[in-house]
Amino acid sequence: MDFVFLTEQSLNGLQFGLMLFLLAAGLTLVFGIMDMINLAHGSLYMTGAYLAAALTTYSGSFLLGVGGSLAGTAVIGVLLEVTLLRTLYERDHLSQVLATFALILILNEFVRLIWGPQPVALNLPEALSGPVEVIPGLTYPIYRLLIIAVGIAVALLLYFLVSHTRAGMWVRAGASNREMAMAMGVNVRGLFTAVFAVGAALSALAGAMLGPLLAVQVGMGESILILAFVVIVVGGIGSIRGAFVGAILVGVVDTVGRTILPMTLREVFSPQVASNLGPALASILIYILMAGVLFWRPQGLFPARG
Amino acid sequence: MKRITTAALMACALTGGAHAADKVKVGFLSTLSGPSAAIGLDIRDGFNLVVKNHGGKLGGLPADVLFSDDQQNPDTGKQLAEKFLKKDRVDFITGIVFTNVMLAVAPAVFDAQTYLVTANAGPAQFSGQGCSPWLYSTAWQNDGAHEAAGKYVQDRGFNNIALIAPNYPAGKDALTGFKRFYHGPVLEEIYTKLGQLDYSSEIAQIRAAKPQATYVFLPGGMGINFIKQFVAAGLNKQTVLVGPGFIADEDIIKAVGEPMVGLFNTSQWAHDLNNEANKKFVADFQKEYGRLPTVYASQGYDAAQLIDSAVRDVKGKIEDKAALGKALGAANFKSVRGDFKFNVNHFPIQNFYLRQVVKEPSGRITNKLVGIVLPNHVDVYGKECKMK
């Protein structure tokens, strides 16, 4: 295991974590502040990716594609909030799960009606599609470095918004004690809509940024949503800081599990056993992490509710 | 005695005295929704094309094709198959995409003595000792394309390679099939989570191992992700990427585009195969649906052609199951893949071809036929099949 390999894997862990953060940030805000389980968050991620693909193909510019996708998905998010989700805040979690699960199915079929069942292309501009030599002997995709940069920038921006602005103060108040915040005169209705728009835009950013790396296809939101839920449960529901730390933790643990674990197992067991055991262990590693965190800190690492 | 006579008479009425049916009923059970719907829809489009070309008939009888969506779920598939068998009383069942769905559905179909024409899944369980007279495949035995890829890599003289497949039965079968024909050393054998999105970590492992060639079997969206990330990491300059046809089909090319150019892949069919049946199929398909057909569409097309030929050969007397089975086994139609006939286990004996993804002068990115890797390939399971 040499230095190049370790550096590459560290970057991979960081990048995977930050990509999860983009998705988990919106989810944790909605879940934490509105106490609303939105399973359709992954569908907004899918919508973002499809919009980015369509707009990039149409305009020829990746930047325009991403920008348009953010705006478009935020609008769709607001429409969903105003028409449907708003009526669910007072209901129990089971109703929310059922309603938003139905929304997943509906949005999937919508996307299929518009774009067809086959995955669509979203490719990078020439300048971003190649690798760059980070350290001698290691060429790393430029685009993954960009994802790292965007992830960190979004984290800093959110940190500033939540900790140092008045709107952020309302958000924090809403997350830690909703009834009290309402009593203190926070415009909860408007705040919720705004938070939902930001959450939708963040998930669209994740979808649009990841589209060029991943398959833009129907149902792409469901598989990644599970990871996003793991992240916010580990980090503490409603906390941006928790989502950030949780995402990096999950990203790194997952990457370590997929590489170092099989290699170690191969030293100890026969290749046959190692190749059976390795992937199985690796895929449950993040759930072990989640179970461990929940055991010692049932509220997550950085709980928002005091 | 009287009872026996009655039974004999009834048997005559059912089989011996068969007269032409008034229509042929086909239960098309396939994955038509969800992430993998593209496969089922392509099989359907290929199948429908034959029916349409014959003016809504199969083998001269009006065709009644009933569609059901198994949602890639074995339990759903089983329920829908029961309905096809008991309520609709179909003459054929076809369209099944996934091996796990097929494993759940097939026993009931065999028990009901109904013909199952598979246009995709070809599990080992029904290829060897578990072979059935009620099953015919117009696709392949599951291992075929992987064996061909192994042969190609062996023939190219690569002697250190990396393998990557999802950690589920078909993934392991794929690599077993590959290694049946590739005998050199394997530097890395990586099994990933099924449905994994990000392959950066596996790509780092492959980079560190420095193999001459990398064989990848990651079907559907997984393959799209892997190839995009593989190229973005610059690894395509360090190792030759090889895969089965499924990871380099038109639907995948459409989603990945430029980064796929150069990829070698193996399949029993190619859209530029030079035979009359195939030329007609590709031209008709493009005219009807406005896109190039995938290998799945070609399998659906051949499934419909097989049913068409069998019904025609028994002159519409589809109640005579024995004669119908014989007619199916004769495979008396022009397959779009060129020559093929059935092995004892009713899986095709057919050529496996090498294709390469190229960018044509017009700018279109597509598969180009390179040559034959395994001529008249016979699967290894057939010799365990006791059927004649």
- Residue type, position A195, single letter: V
User: Measured between CA atoms, how close is A186 to chain B, in angstroms?
Assistant: 40
**Strand stretches in chain B, DSSP E:** 24-30, 57-58, 61-69, 92-94, 115-118, 135-137, 161-166, 186-192, 213-216, 240-244, 264-267, 340-342, 348-359, 365-377
Is there a contact between B293 and B46 (Cβ–Cβ < 8 Å)?
Answer: yes
Tell me which residue of A155, A134, A123, A126 sits closest to A239, measured CA to CA: A155
B370: left (phi over 0), alpha (psi -120 to 50) or beta: alpha
Query: Smallest Cβ distance to B225: which of A15, A130, A215?
Result: A215
DSSP for A26-86 reads HHHHHHHHH----TTHHHHHHHHHHHHHHHHHHHS-HHHHHHHHHHHHHHHHHHHHHHTGG
Predicted confidence at residue B19, as pLDDT, reads 55
Q: Is the dihedral of CA A235, A240, A241, A244 positive or negative?
A: positive
Could you tell me the mean pLDDT of each successive run of 10 residues in chain B, 388 residues long?
52 48 92 81 95 94 94 92 95 92 94 95 90 94 93 93 87 90 91 83 89 91 87 88 91 86 94 94 95 94 96 92 94 92 95 95 93 94 87
* Low-confidence residues in chain A, pLDDT < 70: 1, 305-306
Sheet of B115-118, strands arranged across: B57-58, B61-69, B24-30, B92-94, B115-118, B135-137
The two tokens of residue A236 are 């503490």
Contact in structure between B119 and B302 (CB atoms under 8 Å): yes
Q: DSSP letter at A131?
A: E
Q: Kindly report, residue by residue over A256-287, the tens digit of the pLDDT.
A: 888 888 778 878 887 777 777 877 788 889 99
Alpha carbon distance A94, A147 (integer Å):
35
Which of A119, A139, A144 is nearest residue B221 as measured by Cβ atoms? A119
Would you call B167 and A216 a contact, using CB atoms and an 8 Å cutoff?
no
Q: How many Å from the N-terminal Cα to the C-terminal Cα in chain A?
A: 44
pLDDT at residue number A177: 77
Q: Is the ipTM of this complex over 0.90?
A: no
Helix or strand holding residue A138 (H, E): strand A138-141
Instruction: Provide the shortest C-alpha distance from residue A224 to chain B (in Å).
Output: 8
Q: State the count of interchain CB pairs (< 8 A) between A and B.
A: 120
What is the Cα–Cα distance from A290 to A280, expressed in whole angstroms? 17
Per-residue confidence (pLDDT) for residue B257, from 0 to 100: 86
Q: CA of A8 to nearest chain B CA: how many angstroms apart?
A: 7
Cβ neighbours for A38, distance < 8 A, ≥ 6 positions apart:
A27, A30, A31, A85, A96, A100, A199
Does B251 sit within 8 Å of A119, measured CB to CB? yes
> Element (H or E) spanning A140, and its range?
strand A138-141
Token pair listed for B197? 């999105």
pLDDT of residue A2: 77
**Could you tell me if residue B380 is left (phi over 0), alpha (psi between -120 and 50 degrees) or otherwise beta?**
alpha
> Which of A8, A118, A282 comes nearest B38 by C-beta?
A118
